[in-house]
């Protein structure tokens, strides 16, 4: 998006009075793409992010933020959601201009393997941080709350399509457990304070500007540079890969929902990891050197979304297949020299 485009959009925003939306985790992978779409649709967006993550460096988040910073209808504040007092200052400043209509809460620590090593950090950010955001929303009377959750809440032993009402009291990782707790906390605030609340359980999201600690972008970089890639397990494990643009459209479609809803956002067609590696090889025109190591017990063998509820409630279905999505992601990687200079 160019600066001219942003100025035009900001003019339209002032004329049409789009909603005032706060996005936590705005410099993260999905948050970045969500903000771009919100601004494009004429909303005023206040982004919050700590720019911290132990599983990849801050340079990548700073690069994403630099792409958002040229737009006058986007404002950013560096803030850790674990700091409730600072959050209150951020909200007070935001509502001094105009009430906040909705919160998209995407801020979280979100790496399954890292959560095994640092469970306390995941509890503090994903559970206490969510509580802090909810308390601020209660105090400032925010009517709509969208929580980014995860397929990691479902645990193991589920080979077929997973429905939202599947029992989820046995997650495999501290990350998954922290999101189960965040969902439960949100339900209590919906019940007590009548906050319209939507839980979106994202499956394996990939695409341009993705997280470098996740398989698709990490594999693309390693294969392109001629380095070996590591697969935990034999590569037959299946993941429900869903392209980021599709996820953002589903997330935006949840804004008008009232009441309390839990919705899967996946593609509905899982693929073995070995097959995805083959697609990356084909897109790059290079062969991978694959090193197989012991499987990670915090990861399920299969993730597979039943997306019937998303289709019914949101009128949403994914439009980008895995091969097309991999091609788009590889093309972005090869043509984003400015981004690669900030890889960490």
Contact (Cβ atoms closer than 8 angstroms) between residue 46 and residue 18: no
Please determine, looking at this structure, whether the domain spanning 3-203+243-267+306-319 carries the CATH number 3.40.50.720: yes
**Does the structure show a pLDDT above 60 at 194?**
yes
Residue 308 CB contacts under 8 Å (≥ 6 apart), including other chains: 163
Residue 37 and residue 31: Cα distance in Å, rounded? Answer: 10
Q: How confident is the model at residue 97 (pLDDT cuts 50, 70, 90)?
A: confident
Residue in the structure block whose two tokens are 């980008």: 320
CA torsion, ordered 110, 141, 249, 222, to nearest 10 deg: -20
Report pLDDT for 2.
41
Residue 181 and residue 169: Cα distance in Å, rounded? Answer: 10
**Does the structure show a pLDDT above 80 at 6?**
no
- Tokens read off for 113: 């393997």
How much is the CA Rg of the chain, to the nearest whole Å? 19
Residue-level length of the chain: 344
Q: How confident is the model at residue 344 (pLDDT cuts 50, 70, 90)?
A: very low
Residue 37 and residue 289: Cα distance in Å, rounded? Answer: 37
**Does the structure show a pLDDT above 70 at 4?**
no
Report pLDDT for 340.
59
Average pLDDT, stretch 83-108? 93
Which residues belong to the active site?
175
Report pLDDT for 157.
65
**Does the structure show a pLDDT above 80 at 339?**
no
- Is the C-alpha dihedral spanning 137, 97, 65, 265 positive or negative? positive
Residue 188 and residue 233: Cα distance in Å, rounded? Answer: 38
Report pLDDT for 342.
54
Q: How confident is the model at residue 279 (pLDDT cuts 50, 70, 90)?
A: very high
How far from 312 is each of 117, 248, 252, 264, CA to CA, in Å? 39, 17, 15, 12
In the chain, count H helices and then E strands. 14, 13
Tens of pLDDT, residue by residue over 107-158, are 999 889 888 999 999 999 999 999 999 999 999 999 999 999 999 999 876 6
Average pLDDT, stretch 189-215? 95
């Amino acid at each position: 998006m160019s600066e001219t485009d942003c100025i035009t959009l900001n003019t339209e925003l002032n004329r049409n009075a789009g909603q005032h939306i706060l996005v936590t985790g705005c410099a993260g992978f999905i948050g970045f793409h969500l903000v771009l779409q919100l601004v494009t649709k004429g909303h005023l967006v206040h982004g919050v992010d700590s720019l911290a993550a132990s599983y990849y460096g801050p340079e990548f988040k700073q690069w994403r933020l630099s792409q958002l910073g040229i737009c006058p209808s986007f404002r950013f504040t560096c803030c850790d959601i674990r700091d409730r007092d600072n959050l209150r200052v951020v909200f007070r400043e935001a509502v001094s201009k105009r009430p906040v209509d909705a919160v998209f809460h995407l801020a979280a620590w979100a790496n399954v393997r890292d959560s095994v090593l640092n469970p306390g950090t995941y509890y503090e950010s994903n559970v206490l941080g969510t509580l802090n955001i909810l308390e601020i929303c209660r105090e400032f009377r925010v009517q709509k709350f969208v929580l980014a959750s995860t397929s990691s809440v479902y645990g193991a032993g589920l080979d077929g399509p997973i429905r939202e009402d599947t029992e989820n009291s046995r997650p495999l990782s501290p990350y998954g457990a922290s999101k189960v707790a965040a969902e439960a906390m949100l339900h209590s605030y919906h019940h007590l304070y009548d906050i319209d609340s939507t839980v979106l359980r994202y499956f394996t999201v990939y695409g341009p500007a993705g997280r470098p600690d996740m398989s698709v972008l990490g594999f693309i970089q390693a294969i392109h540079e001629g380095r070996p890639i590591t697969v935990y397990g034999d590569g037959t494990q299946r993941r429900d890969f869903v392209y980021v643009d599709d996820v953002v459209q589903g997330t935006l479609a949840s804004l008008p929902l009232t009441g309390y809803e839990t919705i899967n956002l996946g593609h509905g067609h899982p693929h073995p990891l070995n097959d995805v590696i083959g697609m990356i090889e084909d897109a790059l025109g290079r062969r991978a050197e694959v090193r197989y190591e012991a499987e990670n017990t915090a990861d399920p063998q299969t993730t597979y979304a039943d997306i019937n509820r998303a289709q019914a409630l949101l009128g949403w279905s994914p439009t980008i297949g895995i091969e097309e999505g991999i091609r788009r992601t590889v093309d972005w990687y090869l043509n984003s020299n400015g981004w690669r200079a900030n890889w960490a």
